[in-house]
């Protein structure tokens, strides 16, 4: 482990990582580690506008064919090429996000092979032990061939912190995020020295099953909202027939499913345009 | 009372009023009243972009000299002229907003003379009785000569509903807003017939004192956040010396004041760019 990168501002209105970057730039955070710790602000123009992105979602701009396509001129397409070149080959990349959903401190694993990696499994167990808000969401995105920014590194984690309105700071989550990132750095240093704690037993993981959109009319307008009983219940079980949406007249639409699933990213603001009201996961145990 | 107007979407990412508009357009909401009830979406282009505004804040675009200035070509400057013409002379205008702050259902009175008006005082008392989330915030803005959109009507209320992340819907607040608007319409109809309930005693009002910005560095970046103990405590007393901000290192910055005041709009996302961390008010009693 020689080079570790912490990225903030992949989305320009997610202030948690952006302000941690500003804090760490002016402190000794990340020094005294046996490897180089770099900080990066991924999308400065979106940050200046306090918007998620200017032209397109930067975190969906890392398809290999797009990175090699000199014709793409959107701001984020160009920025993705610069970032891929600058960060390529980093040993570990941590990408700091925040969300309007009640995700707590969610570790997102977006590589199909992430759970086969002993370091990643042990790291997740260690981070989970450090803060009860930590959950592990396994969402391999190879299937849709749309890798995230952290895919340019050898290993990665996306950290989703919420609930927090985009464009705002929340002090409690700010300091819990910082403590978790410190914990992650310490674990990597210990792992390199062969001194990391070793966890046995099982790791609870929420594995992506499918996305659900809001009910909509022919014009794309929502005809129902997240049901009040489901709001904020990320990582909690949703049984078949349980309240899912409430339509604009106050009628409840139940969850149609053969099995209990665990919703995440419930009512995330940025996913309205992606046609995702929530993602459904299955709770699994992974052997440590 | 002949013509009453309900406005949504003055800010394009405040979905509560926008979706109430869509619902009411397709229903019989507002019929069977002795006056005409109109609905208006104020900023369609900002709504399409799901942003507060395109060029400038529409709700700060109603200075008389600006409305009469044919040179102003910003989208919202033009839209303000259209709205002023279309809505001018309405007897009552209700403007539906939402906020990331824990404002509940806040009635904002932005005319200096609002509390001298028996109808307005009785209406506020009536709405407050209908839902415990209702508070009355008196913020006469004549002083800064920057009147809001509703100033084009003879009487007005701005309803601020929160906490809600901009660009999202929250079912519970949606239906409570709808019930409150129905209550407002019923009261106006009863008032016109001389059958409105008559309240005596005192109305609790939070009167604007001053705004407070976040501590910032020379580049305008925040050096402190709302203190975790203050987050969500809108309309609660803030005593001299109580925790106000927390800086990025975790140190508490106390409230420097000679008197207890009542903060509102704590950590509202849209006010970061207006350099307002919160507004301070004084809790007063107004005789009914």
- Give B166's contacts in chain A (Cβ within 8 Å): 165-167, 269
For B245, which residue in chain A has the nearest alpha carbon? A171
Cα–Cα distance list, B121 to A101, B116, B179, B203 (Å) = 38, 8, 19, 8
- Residue B227: alpha-carbon gap to chain centroid: 24
Whether this model's ipTM surpasses 0.90 comes out as yes
Structure-block tokens of residue B127:
């709405």
pTM above 0.80? yes
Are B269 and A22 inside 8 Å of each other by CB? no
Instruction: Please report how the helices A171-192 and A118-130 are oriented relative to each other, as an axis angle in degrees rounded to 10.
Output: 140
More confident position, B103 or B143: B103
pLDDT tens for residues A40-62? 999 999 999 999 999 999 999 99
B45 phi and psi, to 5 degrees? -70, -35
Pairing of strands B252-254, A202-212: unpaired
pLDDT at A32: 85
Strands (DSSP E) found in A60-185: 92-98, 104-109, 134-138, 156-162
Is B11 exposed, middle or buried, given 0-12, 13-18 or 19+ CB atoms closer than 10 A?
buried
| CB–CB contact B269 A100 (8 Å) | no
For the stretch B256-275, pLDDT in tens is: 999 999 999 999 999 999 99
- Which of A140-149, B77-86, B143-152, B241-250 is predicted least confidently? A140-149
Looking at beta carbons, which residues of chain B come within 8 Å of A250?
A: 175
Confidence of residue B144 (pLDDT cuts 50, 70, 90): low
Which of A50, A165, A245 is most worth mutating to test chain B (most B CB atoms within 10 A of its CB)? A165
pLDDT-derived band at B147, boundaries 50, 70, 90: confident
CB atoms within 10 A of CB A267: 28
Take residue A58 and report the two structure tokens written for it.
């930067």
* A175 min Cα distance to partner chain B (Å): 8
Instruction: Tally Cβ neighbours within 10 Å of residue A221.
Output: 13
Distant-in-sequence, close-in-space partners of A144: CB < 8 Å, separation ≥ 6: none
Residue pairs spanning A and B at CB distance below 8 A:
87
Residue B175 touches chain A, beta carbons under 8 Å: yes
Edge-to-edge order in the sheet of strand B243-247? B224-226, B243-247, B252-254
User: Is the separation of the CB atoms in B91 and B153 below 8 Å?
Assistant: yes
User: Is residue A163 reached through a cis peptide bond, with omega within 30 degrees of 0 on the bond before it?
Assistant: yes
Interface check A260 vs B, CB under 8 A: no
Q: Could you give the CA distance from residue A124 to residue A54 in angstroms, rounded to a whole number?
A: 33
Distance (Å) from the alpha carbon of B33 to chain A's nearest alpha carbon:
21
User: Does B225 sit within 8 Å of A267, measured CB to CB?
Assistant: no
Query: How far is B173 from B179, CA to CA, in rounded Å?
Result: 10
Measure the CA–CA gap between B101 and B162, rounded to whole angstroms: 6
Which H or E run includes A79?
helix A75-87
- CB contacts of B100 in chain A (<8 Å) are 165, 168
pLDDT in tens, B221-250: 999 999 999 999 999 999 999 999 999 999
Please list the ranges in chain A whose pLDDT falls under 70: 142-145
pLDDT tens-digit series, residues B30-41: 888 889 999 999
pLDDT at B146: 76
Burial of residue B249 (number of CB atoms within 10 Å: 0-12, 13-18, 19+): exposed
Biggest CA pair distance of chain A:
60
d(CA B229, CA B252): 10
Q: Does A41 touch chain B (CB under 8 A)?
A: no
- Does A172 contact B at CB distance below 8 Å? yes
Mean pLDDT value across chain A: 96
Residues in chain B with CB shorter than 8 Å from the CB of A267 are 168-170
Q: Which residue of chain A has the CA closest to B277?
A: A168
Cα–Cα dist B58/B56, whole Å: 6
Q: Please state, as a whole number, how many other Cβ atoms lie within 10 Å of the Cβ of residue A208.
A: 19
CA–CA dist A123, A184 (Å, integer): 7
Instruction: Judge: B175–A50 Cβ closer than 8 Å, yes or no.
Output: no
The pLDDT value given to residue A155: 96
Helix, strand, coil percent values for chain B (each to nearest 5): 30, 25, 45
In this structure, the number of other CB atoms found within 10 A of the CB of residue B218 comes to 5
B168 in contact with chain A, both atoms CB, cutoff 8 A: yes
Bridge partner list, A262: A281
pLDDT for B32: 85
Q: Are B160 and B266 in contact (CB under 8 A)?
A: no
Residues of B in contact with A226 (CB under 8 A): 169-171
- Cross-chain Cβ contact B174/A225 below 8 Å: yes
Average pLDDT over residues B64-85: 95
Alpha helices in A131-286 (DSSP H): 171-192
By C-alpha distance, the chain A residue nearest B29 is A249
Using a CB–CB cutoff of 8 Å, tell me whether B287 touches chain A: no
Enumerate the β-bridge partners of residue B160: B97, B106
A267·B174 Cβ contact <8 A: no
Torsion angles phi and psi, residue A138, rounded to 5:
-100, 115
């Amino acid at each position: 482990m020689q080079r570790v990168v912490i990225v903030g501002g992949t989305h320009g209105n997610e202030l948690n990582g952006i302000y941690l970057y500003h804090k760490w730039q002016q402190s000794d955070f990340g020094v005294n580690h046996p490897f180089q710790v770099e900080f990066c602000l991924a999308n400065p123009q979106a940050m200046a506008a306090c918007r998620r992105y200017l032209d397109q979602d930067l975190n969906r701009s890392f398809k290999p064919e797009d990175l090699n396509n000199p014709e793409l001129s959107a701001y984020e397409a160009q920025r993705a090429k610069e970032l891929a070149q600058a960060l390529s080959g980093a040993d570990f990349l941590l990408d700091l996000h925040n969300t309007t959903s009640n995700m707590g401190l969610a570790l997102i694993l977006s590589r199909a092979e992430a759970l086969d990696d002993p370091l990643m499994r042990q790291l997740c167990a260690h981070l989970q032990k450090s803060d009860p808000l930590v959950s592990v969401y396994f969402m391999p995105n190879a299937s849709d061939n749309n890798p995230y920014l952290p895919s340019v590194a050898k290993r990665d984690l996306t950290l989703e912190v919420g609930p927090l309105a985009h464009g705002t700071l929340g002090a409690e989550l700010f300091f819990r995020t910082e403590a978790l990132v410190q914990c992650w750095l310490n674990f990597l240093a210990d792992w390199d020295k062969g001194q990391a704690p070793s966890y046995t037993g099982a790791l609870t993981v929420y594995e992506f099953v499918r996305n659900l959109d809001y009910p909509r009319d022919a014009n794309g307008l929502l005809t129902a909202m997240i049901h009040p009983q489901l709001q904020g219940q990320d990582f909690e079980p949703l049984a078949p027939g349980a309240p899912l949406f409430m339509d604009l007249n106050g009628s409840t639409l139940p969850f149609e499913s053969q099995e209990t699933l665990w919703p995440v990213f419930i009512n995330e603001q940025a996913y309205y345009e992606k046609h995702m009201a929530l993602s459904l996961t299955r709770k699994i145990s992974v052997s440590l």
